[in-house]
Homo-oligomer: A and B are copies of this chain.
Amino acid sequence: MHALSISEENYLKAIFHLYTGEEGIGTNAIAHHLHTKAASVTEMVKKLAEKKLLTYEKYQGVIPTRKGFTTALAIIRKHRLWEYFLVEKLKLSWDEVHDIAEQLEHIKSDKLIEKLDRFLDFPKLDPHGDPIPDKAGKMCVTKCCCMSEIKPNSNAKITGVKNHSPAFLKHLEKMHLTIGKTIKIVERNDFDQSVQLVLNHETMHISKEIAENLLVHKIKR
């Protein structure tokens, strides 16, 4: 019945992001994601299990319940709406907003989020290309794949990023590899897995690391 604490919300979000649908998530994985220790996770996970947000059995890892899912989605919704606000209205850059949204996502007020959503005109994607869940937790499926998996000689549009670190985002910005841009993959180097591509009629090379963290959507033409 009580509202969740900020810590509880952060654990839930981590568990949601780590859950692949296969097996239970280990305490170590959660600890690593939250920069905390496995012992702390065990403790917290017991509390969340009592609140029916996840199922937990000793040594078996953790699986979020339906309630856990919808709760996590509500937090992610808030995070992404705030990110959209920060970039589109306040004109912060996409590499500055994550830490701020990490704080804003814990503000408690259903009405605030409804009003914010309306003010922003119900955006569907956040500044990093991630889908924003609606009030019911539904979000659009953005079928896209890693740029490192695209076959040479095909065209694609940049739709998102897998890594949200400021360093990575700033680098993309500098290279003009931003969301919405259309590129042509020319070839992949067998030696270092780097990728040669054409952007704005100019040829460029990007490292394996960058290609693995860029999400694209294949297009014809």
Contact surface of A with B, Cβ cutoff 8 Å: 86, 89-92, 96, 99-100, 103-104, 107-109, 111-112, 115-116, 119
Contact = CB atoms under 8 A, between A and B. Distances in A.
Contact of A99 (B89, B109, B115): B109
A94 to B, nearest CB: 14
State the majority secondary structure of interface residues on A: helix
A103 B6 CA distance: 12
Contacts of A92: 111-112, 115
Contact of A90 (B86, B90, B104, B119): B119
A111 B89 contact: no
B109 A107 contact: no
Contact of A108 (B91, B103, B111): B103
A100 B110 CA distance: 10
Contacts of A107: 100, 103-104
7 contacts: A86-B115, A90-B115, A90-B116, A91-B119, A96-B111, A103-B108, A103-B109
Contact of A112 (B86, B109, B112, B116): B86
A103 B109 CA distance: 10
